[in-house]
Amino acid sequence: KIKLSNPAYADMVAAEPAGIEKLVSGLDDRTAALSYWVSDENLIVWMVNRNGFRSSKIMAGSDYISSLTESARKAVQSNRSDEADRLLTALYNILVAPFKEELAKYQRLVVIPNGTLHFLPFQTLKDNNGKYLVEQFSIIYAPSASVYLITNEKAIPEGDNFLGVALSDITLENKPGLPGTDLELKNIVKLFPRNISATGISGTETFVKKNAGSSNIIHFATHGTYNYRQPLYSCLLFPPGDEDDGRLNVWEVLEMKLNARLVTLSACETGLGNLTGGDEITGLSRAFLFAGSSAVVVSLWSVADYQTSLLMSGFYRNLKSMPACEALTLAQRETMKAYPQPLYWAPFVLIGNGNVMAE
C-alpha cells in the first residue's frame, strides 16, 4: 500500500544497490565520498571521486568497530573530553586517514556508513593534529549510495512555505518540556515570511498532518523516540488531539506525500534507524526522505535545549545564502566556538541532497 501511494518511497526501496561506478558519475569536482562495508573480520572502505575510486581493506571487524563507536559516543555524551579525543582519533585513523592526502583537495565529503557506523557523527572524528573533520569538510550523509543518487537526481521542490512546530514547555509521555524551542522557532520563523507555526498544545499531530504536504521547509522541535523492537513505531511526539494519539510514527510518515526541500528534526534520537542488511528504511530520517523530502537534518543523540536553539538559528540564517551542507557546517563551527565539546555541536547530521537552500 505504501509503495503504491508513494512513488518516491517505491523508487528508493526498489533501487538496486548502486555500484561504485554509478557513484563516480554522481559526484562533482568538489565532492568525494567514503563508502564503508563492515564484515565480521574486516572493514572495507571505498574512496570515490568523479575520476574513479580505490578501496582499502582494514583489519578491523564489526565487533571492534561497534565497540569503538559505542565507547566514543558514550565519552562524547558524558563530556569525558580526554577519553573522547583518544577514541575519536582512533576512529579517524581507521576510517579516514588512509585517504587523507587524496581527500585534501575536496570541500565536501559524502559519508555512506554501514552497520553501527550509522550511529557515528563523522564530523567529530579528530586527526592527529587535533582538528575535527567538520573543520576540514562539509559533510553529507546517505544511508546508501542508491539513496544518495536518487535524492540528488530528483528535482528540488520550489517554494518557500515554512512549517514549524515547537514542543515548548509541555510534558509528553514523561518526557520534559523543551522551553528553549520557543525561542528557537521564533528566531527561525522571522526568516520565512510565508510561514505556519504552532507551539505547545497547539502543535498537534493533526496540525502537522494538515500542513506538511503544502510546506517546503519543515522544522519539528520536539522529542523523538526510537522503538528498537518495532522500528516502524519509532515516532515524533506531539500533543494528542481528538483525531490522533500524538505519536507520528515512521509508518505514518511513509504514507505522507511531501513537497519539501528540507525536513529538520530538532529532537532527540531522530536519526536512529534499524540496522538492516541493505538500505535503511525504518529510521525517521529515512522515512522523511522516502516521503518526498530532498534532505533531512536529524540528531544522533539527546541534545541540550539551549545549544540546539543556538545552532539551529545559525543554520537557518546560513541557509538563506548557502546550500544546506555548508549552512550546517558553518553553524556547527560557530557553535563550537562558544561550546567546544562535541556533545553540543556534533549530533546533527544532514542526509540526502546537500544543495538545498531556503530560497
Contact 185/166 with Cβ under 8 angstroms?
yes
41-73 pLDDT, tens digit per residue, is: 999 999 999 999 999 999 999 999 999 999 999
**Pairs from 51-57 (Cβ < 8 Å, separation ≥ 24):** 51/24, 52/24, 53/20, 53/23, 53/24, 54/102, 56/98, 56/99
Distance CA 342, CA 349 (A): 13
Average the pLDDT over 182-202 and give the result.
94
CATH number of 156-352: 3.40.50.1460
Distance CA 73, CA 70 (A): 5
108-112 and 138-141: which strand pairing?
Answer: parallel
- The 8-class DSSP code of residue 135 comes to G
CATH 3.40.50.1460 domain span(s) along the chain: 156-352
Q: For 19-143, which CATH class?
A: alpha beta
User: CA-CA distances (angstroms) from residue 349 to 24, 62, 76, 326?
Assistant: 23, 23, 16, 12
279-308 pLDDT, tens digit per residue, is: 344 588 889 999 999 999 998 887 777 888
52-58 and 138-141: which strand pairing?
Answer: unpaired
Query: For position 277, what pLDDT does the model report?
Result: 39
What number of other Cβ atoms are within 10 A of residue 128's Cβ? 10
How deeply is 7 buried, as exposed, middle or buried, from its count of CB atoms within 10 A (0-12, 13-18, 19+)? exposed
Query: For position 5, what pLDDT does the model report?
Result: 53
- The 8-class DSSP code of residue 232 comes to G
**What's the pTM?**
0.92
CATH 3.30.420 domain span(s) along the chain: 19-143
